[in-house]
Amino acid sequence: MNKILLTTGGSGGHVIPAKIIEEHLRNNFDIYYSTDVRGLKYLSSDINKTVIIDTPKFDLNIYLPLKLIKLIYLIFQAILFLKKKKIEKVISIGGYMSIPVVIAAKILGVTIILFEPNLVLGRANKFFLNFSKKIFCYSNKLSNFPKNNLHKIEIIKPLVFKAFYELKKTKDINNKFCFLISGGSQGAKIFDELIKEVMIEVSENFSIKVVQQTSLENIENLKRFYDSKNIENKIFNFEEKFINLVNMSDLCITRAGATSLAEISILNKPFVAIPLPTAKDNHQMKNAQFYEEMGCCWVLNQRNLNKENLLNIILNILKNKSDLIEKKTNLEKLNFENSWNDINHKLQKIINEN
């Protein structure tokens, strides 16, 4: 089998796509990983196939010279690993975590393929682009993408695990309208405070159920709050079967990470996106607008969001469900002829050709 190294790390937004790509490739390729310490928790414990490349963040401060010295060390560490394991191709999911591995691959003449899930070309991928053979994207209209490298783009459908394709999708709206509120695992105030107040007012006129993600330390507090208002609820921080929570919902309120939106949209669930305003290059807003332009969601800017305008949007959705149904229909059109096998075939074809 040809040997491929997936270089990733950091948050789930970088590691989950790597695991999905592994799912597509593992039957025909021998898969290895490089990650930083943060990304290790998302991966299996096979230490023989994973190398920790703990790349520092390159902020402009007095420690920059030391970080550059560490970068040189990590490049040599990556070179040794690539040579020892006889890696033939490197697929980078982006992020500064991948810098040493991509540079090492370039030095060794190993084929480099990039993956960009966002609608804004990430800074690391932009830096790597000249080294790479191809870059997998969800669109050919990425912001910040150099025109001289447009020929390297290979468009694929948004990546989700095979289980999302195999699941029987719920189609009818629940009698007790179910909200899935995700994106608050790190304790974002807007999810922990503002949205719960909106749900209380909504519950005064509609029968609802709330399934909400929050920080570990806030689970009991948030559950007590909803219980005291007699609102059926499920409060969680991390849920292995998140797919089932999406499938049982009628409307999702979410951040706009590329993988999160892909998972919600493949199950034909309309959503209200509140992009993280601090996301680099405002990439979450671009991700959300991609679906908004196709009539699949509502997008709210957190910087001018308040209880009143969020409440009005939710009440309008519930009072006139035709808009909700229209967005659900648009998602079905978007996902028409979107199959796991087609994505699998294209990924393998491009990787084998390069």
Least confident of 25-34, 73-82, 183-192: 183-192
Q: Which long-range contacts (CB under 8 A, 24 or more apart) does 56-59 make?
A: 57/96, 58/96
Domain ranges for the chain, please list them.
Answer: 2-157+338-353, 165-334
Question: What is the percent of the chain where pLDDT is above 90?
Answer: 80
For the beta sheet containing 134-137, the strands, ordered from the edge strand earlier in sequence to the opposite edge, are 50-52, 29-35, 2-7, 89-92, 111-116, 134-137, 153-155
Residue type, 133: K
Q: Which residues contact 160 (CB under 8 A, 6 or more apart)?
A: 20, 259, 262, 263, 266
- Categorise residue 343: left if φ over 0, alpha if ψ from -120 to 50, beta otherwise: alpha
Q: Is the pLDDT of residue 42 over 70?
A: yes
The confidence score (pLDDT) of residue 260 equals: 93
Distance CA 330, CA 333 (A): 5
Instruction: Tell me if domain 2-157+338-353 and domain 165-334 are identical in fold.
Output: yes
Looking at residue 185, what is its pLDDT? Answer: 58
What pLDDT sits at residue 3? 97
pLDDT in tens, 269-307: 999 999 999 888 899 999 999 999 999 999 999 999 999
165-334 CATH choice from 1.10.3720.10, 1.10.287.3510, 3.30.1360.170, 3.40.50.2000: 3.40.50.2000
Tell whether the model's pLDDT for residue 68 goes beyond 80: yes
| pTM for this model (two decimals) | 0.92
Return the pLDDT at 77. 97
What's the mean pLDDT in 137-155?
A: 95
Q: What is the CATH number of domain 2-157+338-353?
A: 3.40.50.2000
Q: Rounded mean pLDDT of 207-236?
A: 94
| pLDDT tens digits, 336-346 | 889 999 999 99
Banded model confidence at residue 186, pLDDT cuts 50, 70, 90: low
* 187 pLDDT higher than 60: no
- If you average pLDDT over every residue of the chain, what do you get? 93
